Structure 1
């Protein structure tokens, strides 16, 4: 990730922590990381660069600081845009994915690998080519594509696949569709790399990746909506954004049990049960979490009386001691999540 990529993720008003952005990319899904990812509106980044080294954003941040594009907060980890940085961000034609709101519902990396290999296989099959070098992928991807190919193999497979891909790509910006197509490998077409396309289009490789993932999500979403050649291939990479363990805790909460009862029944610590519920609250739409059952009207009113101003400025330890004694940090954080989602979804 380059300085231009980090610049696109920053805000002029809100200090954002580099470690939070880094941990989102690396899929270090602690409740704290997810909460601030929600506050930054950057949850779509989760798991997009799992092999990113720790501290990989430090050099881009230093470059932005040297150029006068950011100011540093109380710690070097906290940064926000300077007026010059805001002007630079506004003047940049940095790509904003149009499908990012649904990225958490799909294993994007697995879907990308399956689509790329499937396109190559179908292209070579259409030209009756049996000897070629398949794309380098993991064993699971190769097995999934092999099973899928023998399930859907027919004389019309190449035509059907082309039509479905064309239909999906037509719904994207022309530049995005061109990038997705250029990254495909097929018969007598080696396919360009993200680095090659970045140089050609004067973008960063990361920006090219975001454009490709936008295309992957569009293709996968269309394949889910109607039966087409890629439907079976991508069916197993759809997922809930919430971990299975957190789903189980949430389901138990829906049965009217207390946190202590849930923890005892599931043989987990009450603190773990609370973390599960906060994870679900952050990652699920507001209407899919039982806020009304957990945050009583009395509790909401008491919090509203003392928690004013920007949500980022709220501090549990700044509340009256009597309120801290009555309500654990869990309820404070859940109230903040609820308020945040109301602001986003009701806007």
Structure 2
């Protein structure tokens, strides 16, 4: 499972990004380079889905894949071998299609904690267990669960049954392996959830497989319930107040606000007392994550079209290749900006970044 994810990243990166690029993507490094890679290579779903991944863990899998002949690594740049391409195309396991890391990676851990603590609290209440240690220590999550109990005190039995039915229904439609892993993780009613180490041993999986499958199932529950309040009211309740990630940095947000006020790049450089390259980074960052952000004052629509078409023709996101193909007609900032333009996701308005 985790190997499939790595192979898919390597496939998408086309040998143009190093192992560090994969690591930065999965751990959600908030740099314009990583975010541009996520968008440009169409792996934004994987952004930030494994924040606790260590470099040693990733390199261990890279070494294994290379040892099996599925990839080859040259100067830290991995690419698929013929055997690796065949292996990827014939993969039959969970396809991890519900990951939407670029949008939701910040809130999924909170959603997961809410569900685990809500299940534990409801199951213990139903079983008459009053004294127990909460499985989630986070004070905000504990307050949220207490508020649910307070607000729905008279409907708790119905709420519990509804939650059970919603989880059961969604897991029944999910992969069996992922459904079983999550079910075994749940604590409550005198039953103690299994640790990732226990799941790894029982299912003969690697630690990273267990983690990534559990994370993916939470994305699945979150997305299904977020978009369908009618069918999954209790799971939808667990999404309340959990909004899409604000990936733009505070400094880039400030630059964006000046642009909205009509200041030119030179004026912003003077007002902010920052290097031109820094302001350019901010503009690219804004183009990457702010829906509807206009770059008309920096590039014409024709220029953007020509740059994007050249990237498609060359089948690359490497700026140097694109720059050489245009014989230096566009500088690197203009190339980055064109490739960054257009939002990676819809549903958030530009206005929320202006305040």
SS of 2:65 mapped into structure 1: helix
Post-superposition shift, 1:214?
Answer: 3.1
Cα distance in structure 1, aligned partners of 2:323 and 2:102: 35
Give the match for residue 120 of structure 1. Answer: 120
Superposed CA deviations along residues 106-162 of structure 1, whole A, max 9, x for unmatched, are 521222122111111111112221022321433333333333433333333312322
Give the match for residue 152 of structure 2. Answer: 152
SS of 1:206 mapped into structure 2: helix
Please list every run of 5 or more consecutive structure 1 residues that lacks an aligned counterpart in the other structure. 342-347
Post-superposition shift, 1:64?
Answer: 2.0
Post-superposition shift, 1:17?
Answer: 1.6
In the superposition, relative to structure 1, how do residues 207 and 3 fare at CA in structure 2: closer, same or farther (>3 Å)? closer
Cα distance in structure 1, aligned partners of 2:309 and 2:27: 38
Q: Which of 188, 191, 208 does residue 190 from structure 2 map onto?
A: 188
Give the match for residue 276 of structure 1. Answer: 282
Post-superposition shift, 1:268?
Answer: 5.9
Give the match for residue 353 of structure 2. Answer: none
Superposed CA deviations along residues 219-278 of structure 1, whole A, max 9, x for unmatched, are 333444427334454323323342363455445545554334456667765544432332
Q: How many residues in Structure 1 have an aligned counterpart in Structure 2?
A: 334
In the superposition, relative to structure 1, how do residues 230 and 320 fare at CA in structure 2: closer, same or farther (>3 Å)? closer
Taking only aligned residues, the RMSD between alpha carbons, in angstroms, comes to 3.5
SS of 1:80 mapped into structure 2: strand
Cα distance in structure 1, aligned partners of 2:109 and 2:44: 16
Cα distance in structure 2, aligned partners of 1:66 and 1:219: 36
Check the 8 A contact 1:10/1:81 in 2, yes or no. Answer: yes
Greater shift after overlay, 43-52 or 247-256?
247-256
Post-superposition shift, 1:189?
Answer: 2.0
Please list every run of 5 or more consecutive structure 2 residues that lacks an aligned counterpart in the other structure. 345-355
Give the match for residue 79 of structure 2. Answer: 80
In the superposition, relative to structure 1, how do residues 234 and 266 fare at CA in structure 2: closer, same or farther (>3 Å)? farther
TM-score (norm 1): 0.79
List aligned pairs for 1:222-301, cutoff 5 A.
222-224=224-226, 225-226=228-229, 228-243=233-248, 245=250, 246-247=252-253, 249-250=255-256, 252-254=258-260, 256-262=262-268, 270-283=276-289, 288-291=292-295, 294-300=298-304
In the superposition, relative to structure 1, how do residues 146 and 270 fare at CA in structure 2: closer, same or farther (>3 Å)? farther
Check the 8 A contact 2:284/2:337 in 1, yes or no. Answer: yes
Give the match for residue 89 of structure 2. Answer: 90
Cα distance in structure 2, aligned partners of 1:338 and 1:100: 22
Are 1:311 and 2:316 an aligned pair? yes
SS of 2:10 mapped into structure 1: coil
Give the match for residue 9 of structure 1. Answer: 9
In the superposition, relative to structure 1, how do residues 178 and 252 fare at CA in structure 2: closer, same or farther (>3 Å)? farther
Give the match for residue 32 of structure 1. Answer: 33
TM-score (norm 2): 0.77
Post-superposition shift, 1:80?
Answer: 0.8
Greater shift after overlay, 98-107 or 258-267?
258-267
Post-superposition shift, 1:288?
Answer: 3.3
Cα distance in structure 2, aligned partners of 1:280 and 1:47: 19
SS of 1:234 mapped into structure 2: coil
Superposed CA deviations along residues 269-299 of structure 1, whole A, max 9, x for unmatched, are 5544432332343346xx6332556431353
List aligned pairs for 1:101-120, cutoff 5 A.
101=100, 104-106=103-105, 107-120=107-120
In the superposition, relative to structure 1, how do residues 261 and 140 fare at CA in structure 2: closer, same or farther (>3 Å)? farther
SS of 2:234 mapped into structure 1: coil
Check the 8 A contact 1:183/1:193 in 2, yes or no. Answer: yes
Post-superposition shift, 1:82?
Answer: 0.7
Cα distance in structure 2, aligned partners of 1:12 and 1:332: 20
Check the 8 A contact 1:5/1:206 in 2, yes or no. Answer: no
Greater shift after overlay, 182-191 or 195-204?
195-204
